[in-house]
Structure 1
Amino acid sequence: MTGAGDPEQRLRTLRLLRSVRDRIDREYASPLDVAALAHGVGFSAGHLSREFRATYGESPYSYLMTRRIERAMTLLRRGDLSVTEICFAVGYGSLGTFTTRFTEVVGVSPGKYRREAPLAGLPGIVTMRATKPVRNREVPPRSRE
């Protein structure tokens, strides 16, 4: 990691990484890419990806995709938007890509997730913590029998 021998440099790097993470949290529905995020803090895309992964355990792109799926889960539970509207509201440009990615991460399609409405009626913070997608626990592909 950058600045491992220089505590001041490491703190500066951590502040910049936090600002990138905060930007992703705020602007998850916008078209964001690693190059633009890196440019915003004066890093190269490769350097940002390495530092972000070392600090947060996943790449900036993976973090962005996790935020988008997490927000989609919330909107699906709420139930007042169609799956297509949710797809575009969380920053995907294609319903097919959204459905595929959602199914890979969550384990069921967006429509099925909505119908099953997990934890409906519980406070938002409880639901958010209980249903937070974790990318390293992605659902394995189903075998075709």
Structure 2
Amino acid sequence: MDDVITTAVLRVVESMQENYGEQLTIDDLARTAMFSKFHFSRVFQRVTGLSPGRFLSAVRLREAKRLLISTSLTVTDISHLVGYSSVGTFSSRFTHSVGVSPSRYRGLDLLVPPPGGSTRGAAETGTGIGTLRGTVVSPIENRPVFAGLFPDRILEGWPVRYTILTRPGPYVLKDVPEGRWHLITQAAAAGQEDAINYPACGHDGLCIGRQGPITVSAGSTITLSDVVLRPMSVFDPPVLLALRQLMSAELSRR
């Protein structure tokens, strides 16, 4: 990747993390990158996998998650602090992205998995028709690993299918709906689970892996190459799904 592009996108991501409460526009972000607006949007999506606007929204919601569990600020105050003028809009987007409302997330120890067990997600898009299988390789040994299918390259909203492994190794996702999906895997070292609600810094205590897009068609059984987890970087979109709570609930259920 071109060093000039990498440096420019890094400046923008750092600006988002420092100024998430401001009403940043695409023009503001392009000026920070020192690119034209149209060129900036293209290279930002190429580096991060998301548009600048969607990445900024994810940064804001990640910060809202952190504030909800680390402060006693009201939901209204937090919505304003992270750049929302309407608490209703904030609550709606938070609920869609995280899986529960802001008020529920604040007191949440466990997130009840959707009906159907660990290989199903709540976002049903049709009858399951395919199977994905493969192996997760992680530098974090003997720790649980989440593997889920999402419409985009971000852990946002309920996965269409998911599983939670007790340690890195083989996985199977059954009854996968027809479509194009991104497989996203995540693991955290012991004591590093809260790192998911902070900006990533390349620390090997929080790792992520991706494959996709993967096209699933009727009756297909797809064996993927190994998914190799790596430390999350500043260019990885924030994790929005209440993943720690979901994993705790699933492992407790077992």
TM-score (norm 1): 0.75
Pair 1:127 & 2:194 matched: yes
| CA distance in structure 2 between the aligned counterparts of 1:41 and 1:72, rounded to whole angstroms | 25
Alignment of 1:1-145 (within 5 A): 10-117=2-109, 125-129=192-196, 132-133=239-240
Displacement of 1:59 in angstroms is 1.2
How many residues end up aligned between the 2 structures?
123
On the 8 A contact 2:17/2:59 being kept in 1, the answer is yes
Cα distance change, pair 99–50 in 1 and its aligned pair in 2 (3 A): same
Q: Given that residues 11 and 32 in structure 2 are in contact (C-alpha distance below 8 angstroms), is that contact kept between their aligned partners in structure 1?
A: no
Runs of 4 or more, structure 1, over 3 Å off, are none
Alpha-carbon displacement from aligned partner over 1:84-140 (angstroms, at most 9, x marks no partner): 011011111110110111011011111111121569xx96x5223279316xxxxxx
Where 1:105 maps in the other structure, the secondary structure is: helix
What is the CA distance between 1:39 and its match in structure 2?
2.1
Q: Which amino acid aligns with 1:132?
A: V
- RMSD across aligned C-alpha pairs, in angstroms? 2.4
2:8–2:34 CA contact under 8 A, matched in 1: no
Choose between structure 1 and 2: higher strand proportion.
Answer: 2
User: 8 Å contact 1:30–1:91 — kept in the other structure?
Assistant: yes
Residues 95, 101 of structure 2: 8 Å contact kept: yes
Shift of the alpha carbon at 1:79?
4.1
Cα deviation code 1:21-51 (max 9, x no counterpart): 1111111111111111102333222211110
Superposed displacement of residue 12, structure 1: 1.3
| Counterpart amino acid of residue 107 in structure 1 | G
Taking structure 2 as the reference length, the TM-score comes to: 0.44
Structure 1, gaps ≥5 residues long: 5-9, 135-145
Bigger share in helix: 1
C-alpha distance in 2, partners of 1:34/1:64?
10
| Rounded Cα–Cα distance in structure 1 between residues aligned with 2:53 and 2:97 | 14
Q: Quick one: structure 1 residues 74 and 14, their matched pair in 2 at CA, closer, same or farther if it must change by over 3 Å?
A: same
Structure showing greater radius of gyration is: 2
Report the CA distance between 1:62 and its aligned residue. Answer: 1.1
